[in-house]
Chain A
């Protein structure tokens, strides 16, 4: 997205744009959620990255050994190549670290313990669910923050629908354990979503900080001594920034890069900029956020190139469709200061999407989003609304 935005505006006589990436494949990560329930196939969520890269941008496929911000250079794994830079944009994202939890990756991993934040995990879980006769499904969030904080709820809502469809719902117990004090991070949405969990017969175990997985007894234990039994454990392990951030000593305790939350400039280096979930900005680690960051980041980089101060324009805007099962969905829209509120989006009073409320239109919005993502967003295209959150059409 950054390359697609910068390529047309930077003079190729003066600037070279180089993308370093370790993976030739782009994953539509929001689609992973649908794979366990056989709604999407793996082929629906992958495309080659070269389809999305503008012509005058160089691409190097390699892992990065280390970033040396003091020397303005990046050392690659491939051929020990060294790249000097004037500006660096970090988009190394976040990843799951199941090894952070004692016992998680021992005997049960991908046998009766699964993640769905990787294509491999989601696909393995899909195979497991195909012939699962039912039992106690525990969905566990290990630690906050996580990428796409609504995905665990969506997983449970979809599981409720999936087992209904297969006439297994009476044989499946659904349990949700979270380190949060409620269903979600923001109070108003936590209330609405908590009620939905209850309506669907999903048990919520709040303030549960997982200490270990004991797969010999099929229980998870919290640090304060609670035990929860499971037949099938679906986990959102600790999410951390990329290993290269740790190797480069540029991250916090979770390897997220300290970032100015309003300008998206590195807190330490003025020629380094961070987009998406690689940084420590206190907003959701979600794709919509990376999209809303894009325009602010590009404008601030261009300003910096002209010797101007960056503008504090990023407001933490996040916008998430929450799939709630039975072909319905919820939409939430919020930022650093304003929690999700009810109303209509994006046109005040008109919608067509309803905020903080279930509707079929929201579900179809979510399902058509895959097309928008591949065809508009990755290419740096515009959505028909501003990056900053609007209060129009909402009621507090």
Chain B
């Protein structure tokens, strides 16, 4: 694991415990552990997710991301393979999206 992540605390599912402790470098390092190299397009999603989290206290759903940013569903699956909303939240240092109740 990268040195940047040594002092970062994660929950059992790999989401950061404290979103405030996040830095872009930590984001890069988390992405690397997931096999993702961040591009400008990734940052569109990550920055949006962080902004939403700050304003609303939770990570945005997939639908919210694709409806609000110019990243569409097809692209976001290429950017964040697996569950894009979950993976993006992980990289952005946010807790798990609560879209699922």
Does B67 contact A145, Cβ atoms closer than 8 Å? no
Of the residues B64, B77, B83, B101, contact of A282 by C-beta under 8 Å: B101
> Which of A145, A223, A224, A252 contacts B100, CB < 8 Å?
A145
- B100-A180 in contact (CB<8A): yes
CB–CB B82/A145 < 8 A: no
B82 and A207 form a contact (CB under 8 A): yes
Q: Mark A150-194, 1 if CB is under 8 A from B, else 0.
A: 000000000000000000000000000001110001000000000
Residues B39-90 near A (CB distance < 8 A): 58, 61-64, 67-68, 73-74, 77, 81-83
Q: Which of B64, B74, B98 makes the CB contact (< 8 A) with A252?
A: B64
Q: Which residues of B contact A283 (CB under 8 A)?
A: 101
Instruction: Tell me the complex Cα distance, A357–B99, Å.
Output: 26
Complex Cα–Cα for A22 and B82 (A)? 41
Report whether B98 and A282 are in contact in the complex, using a CB–CB cutoff of 8 Å: yes
Whether a CB of chain B sits under 8 angstroms from the CB of A143 is: yes
Q: Which residues of B contact A285 (CB under 8 A)?
A: 101
Q: Are A207 and B63 in contact (CB under 8 A)?
A: no
Determine the chain A residues whose CB is within 8 A of the CB of B82 once the complex forms: 207, 224
The reply on A93 being an interface residue by CB < 8 A is no
Nearest chain-B residue to A180 (Cβ)? Answer: B100
Q: How far is the CA of A181 from the CA of B100 in the complex (A)?
A: 10
**Chain A residues, Cβ within 8 Å of B58:** 282
Least CB separation from B61: chain A residue: A253
Which residues of B pack against A, CB within 8 Å? 58, 61-64, 67-68, 73-74, 77, 81-83, 98-101
10 A-B residue pairs with CB within 8 Å: A144-B99, A144-B100, A144-B101, A145-B101, A179-B100, A185-B101, A223-B74, A223-B77, A224-B81, A252-B64
List of 6 A-B pairs having minimum Cβ-Cβ separation, nearest first: A144-B100, A223-B77, A253-B67, A253-B64, A185-B100, A282-B98
